Each structure stands twice: as C-alpha cells, then as structure tokens.
Structure 1
Amino acid sequence: MTTLVMPPLAPLLALLLALIFWFFPASSLFAKLSLPLAMLSVAALWICATPAFSAWLGGQLGKPVEDPQAVPQAVVILGGGRYRDEKSGNERLSATTLERVTRAAEMAPEPLPILVSGGRVYERERASEAELMAALLQKLFRRSVTWRENCSRTTAENAVNSAAVLHDSGIESVVLVTHWWHMPRAAKVFARAGIQVQPLPVGSAEELLPRAQTGLLRWLPSAAAMLRTQVYWRELLARVWYYWRPLPPVREC
C-alpha cells in the first residue's frame, strides 16, 4: 500500500488517469481536467527525481533526541535487508545492512557486548538476518556477538524483541547503529520499549547534496535522487504510522 502514495508510482498513476480522462467527451469536466492533471503529474515526477528535492525531504527527518545521562551497556545493530540469489540459493546481506555492520565494527566501543536484530521476512529464507550479521562480524571483523534477535521483521519488532533480551540481562542503555535517516524513528521506538539510546548513525544529513550537484544541476532529475526520495518519503510515512500505533507484543519465531 505504501508504494501507491510514493514516487514514481503515484505520479505515474495520476498521469494514466489523465490519459483516461482525455477520452471522455470534450464538454465533460473530466476531459477538461486531463491536461492540468497530466502537467501536474509530470511536474511532480520531475521534482521528486531532483537532488534539490530529495535533499530537502531528507532534511525534514531531523535528528534523534539523545539522553546525555545514558551510559551504554551494549551495542545494538539493526538489520536493513537481505536478498537471496535464486540461482545459487545463497543468502546475502544488503548494502544497507553491510554499512551498518561495518559502522558498528569500526566505531562502536569494543568492550561492549553486541546484539544483532533481524529475522526472516519469508519462510523460504534459511538463515535469519541476525545470523548473517553475526557471521559477518565474526569472520570479517573478529567481533563476537552476544545476542542474536532472530524473530523481528519491522523496526517496532526490533525494539520490542531487543528490549526483552536486553532487560533479561539487566541492560537499560545501548549504542544504536542504523542509518541516519532511520535513526530518529528507531531511537524513539527503542525509548518507548524502555531502552535508552546513544545514536551511532551511518552517514549524516550533511551528505544529502553532493558538492558536484550545485546550481542548475540540483534541479536535473537522476535515478539516485529518486531513490533517495523514495527512502525518505517511506521513512516519513512510517513515522506517522508509528505515532498512532501501539508497540507490538514480543514476536516469537
């Protein structure tokens, strides 16, 4: 459902609707609306694909509220997706998850125990995302993982399931590792689950507009800008959704 209200599909559907209106009788209201609707759709599609708009939209995400009194007792790394090679059957972490694991391995305080969070989205998946992350940390960075939270499929479930594991070990405060655009929502939902957060984001809002994309170049569409717009738009929609939704129960595998 989210895809229906996001670019590029939403403007394209509006453009298709304008085409349908074009075939109505010339005197009808629908026929008169076809051209303005088509122009609006093309303009929206163009704007959403520009670096200037994606940078502005990313700037609306803000920053998480950090508790200065929090003393981290563990590191939590949130999964950001994985994929399965249908030919070989091998399962690999997405680039987003790889960036989070690398960030944690390089920047998180080494003495702190690590929890990795991420389950199976589809039944055909053999290993959970947490298991793949733990294997990568051990093999590539020689960092052992203390807890594997294997059941969560959403950010809210990440928080609730991780909080249950951490509270059982007497841990109330963590270093949270995820992307900067995901951090405000993730930190807030972890706080609702009873865990204090010290953010360790991947990237920053300052990287939104590359130096090369200045002047008129900011308003020229690109696939990269459209992809960033999709990510930020989805995050803003998710934030609104989480505001009205109560926390889910702990999810069992």
Structure 2
Amino acid sequence: MIYFLKFIYKTFILPPGSIILLLLILSFWGFKRKNKLSKFICAIAILLYIFSTYFIADSLMSSLEKKYTPKDNVSGDVIIMLGGGATLDTPNINGVGHLYGSASNRLLTVAQLYYKIKVPIIVSGGQVYDFTGNEADIAKRILINLNIPEEVIITEDKSLNTDENAEFTKELLDKYGFEKPILVTSAFHMHRALMGFQSVGVSLEPFPTDYYTNIKRSYSIYHFIPTADALHESSIALKEFVGILKEKILP
C-alpha cells in the first residue's frame, strides 16, 4: 500500500507530473470548446512527459557517457580537473563553500588518481556568478584536506565555461611543460570538453567519472513515471548536445 501511495504522490502531486496533468486537463477542456491552443498545450504536455521519464533521460545521457571509458593503466604527467559549480558561503571544514555534486565526484576521482600515479593536479574553474564560489580555490582547499600536498596543486581560477577551461589550462600546460595531461570531468561532459581542448591544440587522455547511467540497462515501470530528477537529467544531456553542436559549427 505504501508503494502505491508513493507512486500516486510522485506521479500526480509532485511536479512535473502535476504540471503534465494540469496541461492535459487544459488541453481536453480546449478540445471540447474547439480552442486552437488545445493542440499546442497537448504537445507541450507530451514533450514534458517524454523528457521527464528516465526511459528517455537515461537514453540521452547514456549516449554521451558511453563515448569514453577510463583506462585501468592510465598514465600521464598531470591531472586536469574541470570545475562544475560551487556554493559561495556555505560552512565547510577549514573554510566556506562546497562543490556541487558533479564537481565533488570529479574531485574524488582526481584524489584517487593522484594517490595512484602521483602527478601534479591542475584545477580549472573560476567564479561563474556573483552568488557562486570560486571553484578552483574551493577544490584546492578540499584536496589539501585530503592530504594532497599543496605544492602539487595548480589552480586556474579565471575560466567561466568549458572553452575558457581549455584556453586558460593550455597556458598552464605550456608554462610548466606538461605533455601528457589526463582530463577528469563528468562522463556526460567529456566529449564536449575534449572538443574544447582540441580546438586550442591540446590532446588529452580522457578519464570520465560522475556517471548517471549504468552500463547494463534495465527497465521497470519507474522508468516511465515523470520525475523532476529525470527532467533534470534530460536537461543536462540536451545542454551537452547543444554545446557539441556549437563546437562543430563555431569551433
């Protein structure tokens, strides 16, 4: 019984399910009154439902995440971590500011890689908005708290997007003479990030992390229920597709 109530609650009361239901009701009401907008409203409801299901969200995300696989015997002379957002003033150990979920997963992978191959780290990411934290500075502080020596951490704290990540990180690669960089970023972001670095003449070893989807796909009724999390996943994937298209058209 509890699972049935949870199903009703998540599907019809929480958004986006409640919004989809409302749009369908408005569309039905419009059809009965021969309102020309009813078909448009119905189309919006259908699109919102489609992108709010894990069946579609995971399909979109998986197509991005499966392009690259981390190697067991990875080697290089520097690890590059791309930022992924941070809070500005939330309390943290030895300072303020936290990394967002994707950025935190990237940082954990960077720390694991460092203890495996013991090479310097470049953390790339600035303060994107007035209300967000400086990603490189916060990441550096956390890495130091994880007992990674401060002297092996290099910060690039000016970049505001992926293209600037590549541009400003290349300057550091040239400055320090690194020739075999390893790129750590979210699996869904890796393809666009590599395109950005390739556009400035940098070749990297991809080491994706922060996966949303499993390698072996399985489906249940849950994959067809509209949820805010699935809609968020779809929006991330669609943003990447738009970014990849932009890199191809405007390199």
Q: Deviations over 1:62-109 (max 9, x none)?
A: 51599xxx9622100010001124899942221221111101111344
Query: Is residue 53 of structure 1 aligned with residue 56 of structure 2?
Result: yes
Q: 2:85–2:99: 8 Å Cα contact kept in structure 1?
A: yes
Q: Say whether residues 1:39 and 2:42 are aligned partners.
A: yes
Structure 1 alignment gaps of length 5 or more: 1-7, 247-253
Structure 1 counterpart of 2:77, from 46, 68, 73: 73
Residue 234 (str. 1) matches residue 239 (str. 2) = yes
Match of 1:187 in 2: 194
Aligned residues: 221
- 1:148 alignment partner in structure 2: 155
> Aligned pair in 2 of structure 1 residues 137, 86: CA closer, same or farther (>3 Å)?
closer
Q: Compute the TM-score of the two structures, normalised by the length of structure 2.
A: 0.75
Give the SS at the match of 1:142.
coil
Q: SS at 1:92's partner residue?
A: coil
Tell me the distance in 2 between the aligned counterparts of 1:203 and 1:94.
12
TM-score in terms of structure 1 length: 0.75
Residue number in structure 1 paired with 2:179: 172
Change (3 A) 1:65 1:167: farther
- For 1:203 and 1:221, locate their aligned partners in 2 and report how far apart those are by CA, in whole Å: 23
161-170 vs 188-197, greater mean Cα deviation: 188-197
Cα distance in 1 between the residues matched to 2:113 and 2:75: 16
Structure 2 unaligned segments of length 5 or more: list them.
1-15
**Aligned equivalents of 2:138, 2:180: Cα separation in 1:** 24
- Report deviation, 1:206: 4.8
**2:204 match:** 197
SS at the partner of 2:182? Answer: strand
Change (3 A) 1:124 1:50: closer
Give the alignment partner of residue 228 of structure 2, picking from 217, 223, 232.
223
CA RMSD of aligned residues (A): 3.3
Aligned with residue 144 of structure 2, among 138, 144, 151: 138
| CA distance in structure 1 between the partners assigned to 2:213 and 2:87 by the alignment | 29
* 1:123 CA drift (Å): 4.7
- 3-state SS of paired residue (1:207): coil
